[in-house]
Structure 1
């Protein structure tokens, strides 16, 4: 059995360096990391403790339930993956532990036919493992460098831009973004970073003054924001858990547009204008592309869904 020490000798590094590459807990130079991954690939190293799914040919879902992850939102994607997989007579193994690159290898060793990877970070440490691993994969989310990968997601840059244009067209000159919890930004989750970029760039283009704030599920950030910035009349909210509290605490003159599934926006009182997050469509599309990869298709590249805004009360 190949061990970490074997990989370290083959790559000419210390065993601790191999561990850091596998866990992503310390930054390692690109040159050294590439050398370690090449040794892992050449020697066929796999971590111990892999768990076999119920049947061969299953699909693995890597969904680390980390701080700030909205479980209800994540489960919409997982349900869509499960439904699509079941229609293809494939079981699904969901791995919620945050094991970084080692988790990719461990899941691959468990005999899954392919992997759906979620909660993708801009500099996701799992990317190198996904490229090195022979098991096909599809990411729901987009890292900074998607080369050689298959990725699907909503175009969050365009979605946030659409919300800003909507508010600016309605005459608002001072707007704010209430986004994900702070921990999501701290680990540089891809959708959140792309969204802020789209929000900021469009506000600058439209000549609109803007503020960006992280928002915890309790929604208290909205009250603090409006108390500090009485000039704000438009809010973009991308935080499904906090949305009811934000709406309850917002002054009647504040115009709110949300980024959330349509059914969430339709349940609020008053119903809120929103850009739909197509979790079900993205989950099904991820399975379609993954099955194509399992059948031998090359990486598909990046596929972003165009945002659609629905105006309500």
Structure 2
């Protein structure tokens, strides 16, 4: 005779241990982080916790482990930030944190080191996740001395002693140029993030531009890189000026999600249809590339994967485990309808 399923409120740690095939002490160690448990065993215990709907007493657990089971996502909302992409990162962080029995405190004010010091000095959070990382980030020296585990989504110029994870944006810039050069393009341009993003030294934008330039030099491709402001009017002005200076331009790399749509819409009105006269490669989410007209050849920004890895690394650090210092995800270019061999003139 089958026994009725227990209410989640009645599920015990012993039930979780039986379901996972481990000792009760092992479940306790997974929850408290007091001992290092293998990744496979930890994953099995967490799967059982989710399957049974087990909710440990948060107050008792916090008292026993002296942890809040909360991580802070420090995401200053500055000019030039692409909010839809940023929200993909934030959603992934929150979703992953919940699977690991943690909540997320979202910090959006731009307080710099003072804000980190305030958060770390409180008992609100166990660790810090930082986004919008600059090459010369004023928060980095403080992070090295804080008594809280931290992970950066992005790389400063000097990442020694830090845990960082991101797409390899330098390589992403190279991959875009390599694809276009392989099709025969010899004059290409990068339309990048708004000027404010470059001015404050945001790492991903500068690394993409450097990779773009390095690949162009290596492959004997003439190249120019320009910041691009948001809005159809700004994009049109930029394209008109670019084509005035380089009338034989045959390809664009766009690293500005807000500019991609206006670029595709404006080029045909300037007598430069895509991809017949100008090929376009974008660094943007796959969903956006698939829905564009024409469908965009693109290097996706793996926001979900980066967010998931960042939270996993942070929780492991909170539990006292060793983690790699640097995790750079290799870019993956998907060829669609927006690129083709240059038209012979």
Contact 1:149 1:299 survives alignment (8 Å) = no
1:20-75 deviations in Å (ceiling 9; x for gaps): xxxxxxxxxxxxxxxxxxxxxxxxxxxxxxxxxxx922010011111111111111
**161-170 or 295-304, larger mean C-alpha shift:** 295-304
- What residue number does 1:149 align with? 162
The 2-side partners of 1:238 and 1:303 are apart by: 22
Which residue matches 2:111?
99
Aligned partner of 1:237 in structure 2 is: 254
* Aligned equivalent of 2:282: 258
Tell me, what secondary structure is at the counterpart of 1:297? coil
1: distance between equivalents of 2:242 and 2:121? 48
Query: Aligned to 1:138, which of 135, 141, 151?
Result: 151
Task: Give the TM-score normalised by the residue count of structure 1.
Answer: 0.81
Q: Does 1:274 align with 2:274?
A: no
Residue 291 of structure 1 and its aligned partner are, at CA, apart by 0.5
| Distance (Å, rounded) in 2 between the aligned partners of 1:159 and 1:276 | 9
* 1:148-227 mapped onto 2 (5 Å cutoff): 148-218=161-231, 219-220=235-236, 221-227=238-244
* Coordinate RMSD, CA, aligned: 1.2
Q: Is the 8 A contact 1:223 1:249 kept in 2?
A: no
Query: Counterpart of 1:90?
Result: 102
Match of 1:121 among 115, 120, 134: 134
Q: Distance in 2 between matches of 1:285 and 1:143?
A: 18
- Does the 8 A contact of 2:316 with 2:323 survive in 1? no
Deviation of the 1:226 alpha carbon:
2.2
Structure 1 runs (4+) greater than 6 angstroms displaced: none
Residue 228 of structure 1 and its aligned partner are, at CA, apart by 2.9
Q: How many residues align?
A: 259
Structure 2 unaligned spans of 5+? 1-66, 338-345
The residue number in structure 1 matching 2:335 is 311
Q: 1:300 offset after TM fit, Å?
A: 2.4
Greater shift after overlay, 159-168 or 296-305? 296-305
TM-superposed CA distance for 1:299, in Å, is: 5.3
Indicate yes or no: 2:313 matched with 1:289: yes
1:67 aligns to what? 79
Instruction: Look up the SS of the partner of 1:310 in the other structure.
Output: coil
Larger Rg: 2
Residue by residue over 1:211-248, the C-alpha shift from the partner in whole angstroms, topping out at 9 and shown as x without a partner, is 11001121232333223321110000011111000111
After superposition, what is the alpha-carbon deviation per residue over 1:100-147, rounded to whole angstroms, capped at 9, x for unaligned? Answer: 111111121332011110000000000011111111000000001111
Task: State which drifts further: 214-223 or 94-103.
Answer: 214-223
Distance 1:260 1:162 in 2: 14
1:65-111: CA deviations, max 9, x gaps? Answer: 11111111111100000000111221111111111111111121332
What corresponds to 1:302 in structure 2?
326
Residue 298 of structure 1 deviates from its aligned partner by 3.8
Distance 1:292 1:299 in 2: 7
TM-score (norm 2): 0.73
Q: CA deviation at 1:306?
A: 0.3
Question: Secondary structure of the equivalent of 2:80?
Answer: coil
> 1:172 and 1:216 mapped to 2: Cα distance?
25
- Structure 1 SS opposite 2:258: coil
Q: 2:25: which partner in 1?
A: none
